[in-house]
């Protein structure tokens, strides 16, 4: 099945998503995973009236990004943040729904006795080889790594970190929110061996009221990548006092991440 842009608008009567949010495809083909998935698209308000090309952010757990109607618990409200705080500094944002019961497997690059086969490598390959080329072909994007970011939280933070380490030629920026590194300790050895990260940028954020290991695990990864980039400013680490592991916190954390991201564009 070939993917073709559909870009259906969200009904205002049922949903909380901004008018700038569209469903790119309810069943976007994922050949690397022999699956299909809903893909969301946030286009800047001035997109249709301009000829500007935009940076792109690829975000995980698409159900939870824009719309309370589809969110598992609470939406991030990324669209409202962009509409109100960054109206003139907009990016294209692509959100990919997680795979429900296959979420842990698709976001984990490594096999696990508890969770089974890790399919994160195939998922990252989908982003790099199928989804990104489609977006770049159908929308006005700044397609180089410097202007491309990958973002996720929890298991999505794990796969965002992995994809940025595995594919620095594609993802030059990573927003890693409350990463579930405890599920895949192998990623530390992978990070130590990662190459070509000199120009990469990493933003780490978590709360100090999450799991006992969250802060230390995240700081450990930040220390590894800090040794591989050219400048200290390419790695940011934020520990939020009293913050927990939830969408409300990631909503609160997103504006600071986005401000940091803009500094590299």
DSSP one-letter string for 195-245: ---TT-EEEEEEETTS-TTHHHHHHHHHHHHHTTSSSGGGEEEEEETT--S
Tens digits of per-residue pLDDT, 194-242?
999 999 999 999 999 999 999 999 999 999 999 999 999 999 999 999 9
This prediction's pTM? 0.93
pLDDT at 85: 83
pLDDT at 237: 99
In a domain, 219, yes or no: yes
Total tally of structural domains belonging to the chain: 1
Backbone angles phi, psi at 4, to 5 degrees: -130, 140
- Calculate Rg over the CA atoms of the chain: 17
In a domain, 106, yes or no: yes
Domain containing residue 82: CATH number: 3.40.50.1820
In a domain, 13, yes or no: yes
pLDDT at 9: 55
pLDDT at 168: 99
Per-residue pLDDT band for 8 (boundaries 50, 70, 90) equals: low
Given a cut of 80, is residue 73 above it in pLDDT?
no
In a domain, 191, yes or no: yes
3-state secondary structure 163-196: HHHHCCCCCCEEEEECCCHHHCCHHHHHHHHCCC
Per-residue pLDDT band for 36 (boundaries 50, 70, 90) equals: very high
pLDDT at 17: 86
Its domain, for residue 40, covers: 8-263
pLDDT at 192: 99
Tens digits of per-residue pLDDT, 104-155?
999 999 998 888 899 999 999 999 999 999 999 999 999 999 999 999 999 9
In a domain, 3, yes or no: no
Whole-angstrom CA distances from 61 to 66, 69, 70, 195, 235 are 10, 14, 11, 28, 24
Tens digits of per-residue pLDDT, 44-69?
999 999 999 999 999 999 999 998 77
Q: How do strand 92-96 and strand 56-59 relate by DSSP bridges?
A: parallel
In a domain, 2, yes or no: no
Give percent above pLDDT 90 in the chain: 81
pLDDT at 11: 54
How many other CB atoms are there within 10 angstroms of residue 183's CB atom?
19
Total residue count of the chain as it appears in this document: 265
In a domain, 229, yes or no: yes
In a domain, 1, yes or no: no
Given a cut of 60, is residue 163 above it in pLDDT?
yes
Give percent above pLDDT 70 in the chain: 94
């Amino acid at each position: 099945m070939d993917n073709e842009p559909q870009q259906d608008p969200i009904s205002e009567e049922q949903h909380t998503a901004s008018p700038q949010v569209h469903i790119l495809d309810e069943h976007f083909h994922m050949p690397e995973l022999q699956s299909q998935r809903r893909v969301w698209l946030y286009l800047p308000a001035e997109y249709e009236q301009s000829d500007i090309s935009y940076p792109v952010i690829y975000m995980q757990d698409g159900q939870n990004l824009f719309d309370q109607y589809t969110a598992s618990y609470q939406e991030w409200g990324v669209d409202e943040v962009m509409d109100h705080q960054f109206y003139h500094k907009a990016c294209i944002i692509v959100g990919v729904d997680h795979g429900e019961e296959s979420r842990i497997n698709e976001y984990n690059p490594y096999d696990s006795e508890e969770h089974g086969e890790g399919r994160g490598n195939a998922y990252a390959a989908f982003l790099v080889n199928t989804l990104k080329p489609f977006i770049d072909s159908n929308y006005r994007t700044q397609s180089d790594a410097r202007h491309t970011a990958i973002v996720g939280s929890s298991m999505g933070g794990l796969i965002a970190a992995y994809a940025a380490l595995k594919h620095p030629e594609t993802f030059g920026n990573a927003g890693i929110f409350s990463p579930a590194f405890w599920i895949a300790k192998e990623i530390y050895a992978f990070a130590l061996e990662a190459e070509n990260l000199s120009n990469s940028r990493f933003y780490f954020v978590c709360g100090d009221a999450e799991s006992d290991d969250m802060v230390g695990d995240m700081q450990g990864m930040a220390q590894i990548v800090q040794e591989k980039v050219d400048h200290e400013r390419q790695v940011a680490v934020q520990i939020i006092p009293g913050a927990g592991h939830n969408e409300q916190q990631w909503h609160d954390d997103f504006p600071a991440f986005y401000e940091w991201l803009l500094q590299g564009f």
